[in-house]
Amino acid sequence: MVIKVHGPVQSPAVLKVIACLKEKELDFELVHVNLPAGDHKKEPLISLNPFGQVPAFEDGDLKLFESRAITQYIAHTYADKGNELLPNDPKEMAIMYVWMEVESTKFDTPGFNLSFEIALKPLFFGVATDEAAVTENEEKLGKVLDVYESRLKESKYLGGESFTLADLHHIPVANYLMGTKVKSLFDCRPHVSDWCADILARPAWSKALDYLSAETEKLPHEYGLCISRLINMG
């Protein structure tokens, strides 16, 4: 049984899954989805993800979508492989879920919007960055990172003293933002800055970045060039 991940590996949501698979040292097959060609709105993807989004995921006959549901499945099902990504204690597990929800409902939108405005829009679509949107999202992200700074004074990671899925889910967007001026929002908060450096330095994330580079090289030159610039920014 081969695990299959459907999506362009450059998508932050797809990279959440790849990062998790690398932490677990699991083999997988990537099925590239050409977003500019609209492949996410066609078969076979639309049957795997009825919202026509990436990623989609297969493990034998199990078909999943939604990146955070996929990483939870991987972390629970392959608990004995690679690095532990879940706490053992039920109370610590509950606290991890709190911070997973925070990433999903508070961090991800301003974080992704900033990656999109500053990096993706000019690089991929040749459209100018909307500076008002950048300011608005920087304000939102700054308030979220204020709470993270307080939290990370109490514990090394968001869920407690161990790295968990709650931290992992931040890596792809944080990685992209490190190559932009938004990095200063992380740098000026010392505990956030240390946490971010720590999670981006994980060996599994280095492997995910190597994989991202290798996959990007397979893409048509112009598309790949844009992606390479984006990766190198992060």
Residues that bind a copy of itself (CB under 8 A): 50-51, 62, 64-66, 68-69, 72-73, 76-77, 90-91, 93-95, 97-98, 100-102, 104-106, 147, 150-151
The answer to whether the CB of 167 falls within 8 A of the CB of 197 is no
- Tell me how far, at minimum, the Cβ of 15 lies from a copy of itself, in Å: 17
DSSP 53-79: -S-EEEETTEEEESHHHHHHHHHHHTT
The number of C-alpha atoms within 13 Å of 14 and in the hemisphere containing its C-beta is: 24
- Tell me how far, at minimum, the Cβ of 180 lies from a copy of itself, in Å: 24
Please write down the HEC assignment for all residues of 144-185. HHHHHHHHHHHCCCCCCCCCCHHHHCCHHHHHHHCCCCCHHH
Helices H, strands E: what count in the chain? 12, 4
Output 14 or 100, the one with its CB closest to a copy of itself: 100
Report the alpha-carbon distance of residue 161 to residue 95 in Å, rounded. Answer: 12
- Tell me how far, at minimum, the Cβ of 13 lies from a copy of itself, in Å: 10
Tell me if residue 51 falls in helix, strand or coil: coil
Output 66 or 136, the one with its CB closest to a copy of itself: 66
- Tell me how far, at minimum, the Cβ of 101 lies from a copy of itself, in Å: 4
User: Of the candidates 7, 4, 3, 71, which has an alpha carbon nearest to the alpha carbon of residue 45?
Assistant: 7
- Tell me how far, at minimum, the Cβ of 166 lies from a copy of itself, in Å: 10
Output 91 or 221, the one with its CB closest to a copy of itself: 91
What distance, in Å, lies between the first and last C-alpha atoms of the chain?
Answer: 34
Output 67 or 216, the one with its CB closest to a copy of itself: 67
Output 47 or 184, the one with its CB closest to a copy of itself: 47
- Tell me how far, at minimum, the Cβ of 122 lies from a copy of itself, in Å: 26
Output 71 or 115, the one with its CB closest to a copy of itself: 71
